[in-house]
Structure 1
Amino acid sequence: MLNRICVYCGSSPGKREEYTAGAKKLAELLVQQNVELVYGGASVGIMGALADTVLENGGKVTGIIPEDLVKKEVAHKGLTDLQVVSSMHERKFAMAEQSDGFIALPGGLGTIEELFEVLTWSQLGFHQKPVGLLNVCGYYDHLSSFLDHAVSEEFVKQDHRQILMVEDNPKALVSRFEHYEAPAVDKWISRDST
């Protein structure tokens, strides 16, 4: 059951208005489905729009932000719960611990790094939670293609590639989350034993 979803996204609004619009659609869906938001705690960019929309619609938001970024990312003061932590590592761990699944909206290097960390944790069996991309305006098309290339070059197993769900519609993505089953694949099986 999905009680809380962690959303990774940009502290910038990006080039297209559709990125913010996609965040707002996801926020509205989370509230409709009584799912709380866990995110990076900023009041700006896509992060701010996401949190504001959840709050405006009566939902609950937990923001987790490192002390060093409180001023830089402009910490959101109106959240249900704002947790200030000592480091990025502590932030990512707290977000993962407090969430039942992970969605990446459009964002920059930090968003991608956070996404790949939880994806790797899933591949290694550290958690069995769903991980997905909300592919607004095809933002993640090239990333998806790269992962397919990594499979064809035998650096990523197909079962591990399928951990990352990609949808351009928030409802479709959350629906897949509700039916997600983590693969029971051993990361360390050698090519000779497969």
Structure 2
Amino acid sequence: MQRLAVYCGASAGGDPAFADTAKRLGQTMAERNIDLVFGGGRLGLMGIVADAVLAGGGKVFGVIPEMLKDHEVAHTGLTELHVVQSMHERKAKMTELTDGFVAIPGGIGTLDELFEAWTWKALGYHGKPIGLLNVNGYWDSLTAFLDNVAGHGFMSTARREQLVMSDDIDDILDQLASSFTGGKGEVTW
């Protein structure tokens, strides 16, 4: 895996562990020669992870919609900044540029990106791995809900297992790398 899309907040959130984890994730990615694909902003966790990858000598590819370019204060020190017209184009471009996805804490935008990437994987549009880096139990309620969805028959076990999770940076990167196939995915119902 050469490039990883990181979905995360344009805010640093209320727990200092979120910013610390974003920085350590970026540092670890740079150490492992994994380039970053992200939303293109310089604020919050997005800016922290991007700055850490850049500081470690890694490449950073941002994708930001035109209307958010100034609102999110686009990061100007990136390897490449792709400006697109819509959120849909942003997610499609990020999917095109990356080998896998990981979500760290974030809000509705992070959830939107995560679920669209997972839906596209479930439908076979890509075969790229998707994971959650669980900082201080941030994703626990979501994964319990997803287990409930599967338990009620609205999601297969195979689909539920597509979303991996760990509270350890090295472990989540290892899980994502081990399930990277590089090709299109298979439809899972």
Q: TM-score range by the shorter chain?
A: over 0.9
State the partner residue of 1:45: 44
What's the TM-score once normalised by structure 2's chain length? 0.95
Give the Cα separation in 2 of the matches to 1:185 and 1:71. Answer: 38
8 A Cα contact 1:131 1:164, kept in partner:
yes
State the partner residue of 1:136: 135
Give the Cα separation in 1 of the matches to 2:164 and 2:68. Answer: 30
Tell me the secondary structure at the aligned position of residue 64 of structure 2.
strand
Deviation at 1:150, TM superposition (A): 0.4
Provide Cα deviations, 1:56-103, integer angstroms capped at 9, x if missing partner. Answer: 111110010000001111100111111111111111100000100000
One-letter amino acid of the counterpart of residue 139, structure 2: Y
Provide Cα deviations, 1:96-123, integer angstroms capped at 9, x if missing partner. Answer: 0010000001000000010000001111
Percent of pairs identical after alignment?
A: 46
Tell me the secondary structure at the aligned position of residue 148 of structure 1.
helix
State the partner residue of 1:161: 160
State the partner residue of 1:32: 31
Tell me the secondary structure at the aligned position of residue 46 of structure 1.
helix
Structure showing greater radius of gyration is 1
Q: 1:57 to 1:149 in 2, by over 3 A?
A: same
One-letter amino acid of the counterpart of residue 152, structure 1: G
8 A Cα contact 1:101 1:131, kept in partner:
yes
8 A Cα contact 1:159 1:185, kept in partner:
no
RMSD, matched Cα: 1.3
Give the Cα separation in 2 of the matches to 1:80 and 1:97. Answer: 16
State the partner residue of 2:89: 90
Give the Cα separation in 1 of the matches to 2:41 and 2:135. Answer: 21
Give the Cα separation in 1 of the matches to 2:173 and 2:121. Answer: 18
State the partner residue of 1:99: 98
8 A Cα contact 1:11 1:46, kept in partner:
yes
Q: 1:156 to 1:181 in 2, by over 3 A?
A: farther
Deviation at 1:185, TM superposition (A): 5.8
**175-184 or 138-147, which deviates more:** 175-184
Give the Cα separation in 2 of the matches to 1:186 and 1:162. Answer: 10
Q: 1:39 to 1:158 in 2, by over 3 A?
A: same
Give the Cα separation in 2 of the matches to 1:118 and 1:186. Answer: 14
Tell me the secondary structure at the aligned position of residue 55 of structure 1.
helix
Tell me the secondary structure at the aligned position of residue 91 of structure 1.
helix
Provide Cα deviations, 1:151-180, integer angstroms capped at 9, x if missing partner. Answer: 110001011000000111110011011211
State the partner residue of 1:80: 79
Deviation at 1:32, TM superposition (A): 0.9
State the partner residue of 2:175: 176
State the partner residue of 2:20: 21
Give the Cα separation in 1 of the matches to 2:178 and 2:52. Answer: 26
Give the Cα separation in 2 of the matches to 1:180 and 1:31. Answer: 20
One-letter amino acid of the counterpart of residue 170, structure 1: I
